[in-house]
Amino acid sequence: ARDRRPPATPAIVAPRGWQRRLEQVVASWIGTPYRWGGASRRGVDCSALTQAIVAEVFVVTLPRSSAAQYQAGSAVSRGELRPGDLLFFDTLDRGRVTHVGLYLGDDTFVHASSSRGVTRAQLSKAYYQRAWVGARRLLAPERS
């Protein structure tokens, strides 16, 4: 595992009903075409997608690039993932973050695939296991 751990930033408190809202927002993006540098429903890249979803659900502005988003939140291990965590990959074998997605739970995440557009994928697939860099949690621990 190549998890390079940037410093933690303050966690955000999730609004009431955020998980249902997350599913609604994700569903509204599914099928959007991929467009490098795109940031709209006419075409979107991976970091603009996570930026848009986080803004709609949590009213938080993430940086624009996947590498800059990797500086947000706090590091979390693959075994501790929760819905809302950002997932980071090196899909180009460059030794750095080149792709980001958003974990939805049950081994599933949403991302903007350059070949399929916005889609859900299984984190356990060999491709994503090989490209894994790390995960970051934006959300504060839930209060009981």
Whole-model pTM: value is 0.90
98, 99, 136, 138: the active-site residue: 99
- When mean pLDDT is compared across 8-22, 85-99, 119-133, the lowest value belongs to 8-22
Where does residue 37 rank: exposed (0-12), middle (13-18), buried (19+ CB within 10 A)? exposed
Is pLDDT at 6 greater than 70 in this prediction? no
- Cα-based distances in Å from 77 to 25, 45, 122: 25, 25, 17
Does the pLDDT at position 19 exceed 50?
yes
The one catalytic residue in 14, 46, 48, 102 is: 46
Asked whether the predicted pLDDT for residue 8 surpasses 50, the reply is no
Single out the catalytic residue among 76, 90, 111, 121.
111
Residue 144 has a pLDDT of: 41
Query: Is residue 99 among the annotated active site residues?
Result: yes
Task: Report pLDDT digits (tens) over 32-51.
Answer: 999 999 999 999 999 999 99
For 33, 43, 120, 136, 142, the CA distances from 11, given in Å and listed in that order, are 31, 29, 25, 10, 11
Residue 13 binned pLDDT confidence (cut-offs 50, 70, 90): confident
